[in-house]
Structures are given as C-alpha cells and as structure tokens.
Amino acid sequence: MDRKVQMVCLLLVFTQAGHSIEEYIGHLWEVLPPARYLCSLVSDDLEKGFLVINIGFFVLGILGWLLLVRTGHVLAKYIIWFWIIIELINGVGHVVWALIEASYRPGLITAPFLFGIAWCLRGLVQKSTDGGKVHS
C-alpha cells in the first residue's frame, strides 16, 4: 500500500481525535439530539457515553490503521473508504449545522480539516487503485 495513503489515513484518525476533543469541550451531547441519543445508548450519563463512544472510535481507528492499513491487508481499502465517507459527511454536516443555527456549534473549527484531509485521502486512494485493488 502506498505510504502516502497510509500516513494521510493516520492523520485523518488523529484529526478526528482532535475533533472529538473540540466536541467534548463544547458539550456536543447537550446541543445535538442525535449525539444525545447515541450517548444515551451507552450510558445514562451522557458525558460518559460521549467519552466511551469517541475513545472507542479512536481506538478502532488506530487498530484499523495498525492491523489493516499499515500492513496493506485486503480489508484496508474498506477501512480507508469508511473513514473517508464518515469524515466527508462529518465535515460538511458541522458547517451546514452552524450555518443553519447562525452560530458556532461544537466541532465547527476542526470540521473543515476533517473534510480537507478526507478529500485529499480520497484523491490519493483513487490514484493508487486499479480495479478496486490498492497497490502495495
């Protein structure tokens, strides 16, 4: 797998971690009903639910990178595309939400970085693929 793809994918995982920190500081679970709902599935304490979900997401991202992306595993392309799609949606979603509310919303500062890195990763993956297979 192309080293640049690997490193940009890892950058995306760490940028998501920074994004989660921004959302935590802004108490996302208090202002976004879908976040409130997801957090409530994990714990009655919404803050704790938020932490469990986001720490889990980060750990899964790191494990996916270490075990699949870094090694060029056949499943790596699926993990990478999962992250690309999630972060493109996340990046756009936060900006649209802030525009609708006409104010800052938790995650707005880091959302454009998520979008930009995901878009860059998309381009790198498309350049390094042939018939759906990632080149080693």
Q: What are the beta bridge partners of residue 133?
A: 130
Residue 136 has pLDDT above 80, yes or no: no
pTM: 0.91
Expressed as residue numbers, the domain containing 93 is 3-129
User: Over the stretch 22-32, which tens digit does the pLDDT of each residue have?
Assistant: 999 999 999 99
SS3 state of residue 37: helix
Question: Is 99 part of a structural domain of the chain?
Answer: yes
Confidence band (pLDDT; 50, 70, 90) for 133? Answer: low
Specify if 135 maps to a domain.
Answer: no
Q: Is residue 134 part of a domain?
A: no
Domain assignment present for 69: yes
* Count of domains observed in the chain: 1
Residue among 51, 37, 31, 12 nearest 100 (CA): 31
> Is pLDDT at 132 greater than 90 in this prediction?
no
Residue at 136 is within a domain: no
Give residue 40's pLDDT: 98
Domain-embedded: residue 81: yes
Rounded CA gap, 84 and 32, in Å?
A: 22
Q: How confident is the model at residue 128 (pLDDT cuts 50, 70, 90)?
A: confident
Q: Which residue has the tokens 């525009």?
A: 99
Give residue 134's pLDDT band: very low, low, confident or very high (50, 70, 90).
low
Q: Residue 35 domain-assigned?
A: yes
Dump pLDDT digits (tens) for 70-108: 999 999 999 999 999 999 999 999 999 999 999 999 999
Query: How many angstroms separate the first and last alpha carbons of the chain?
Result: 4
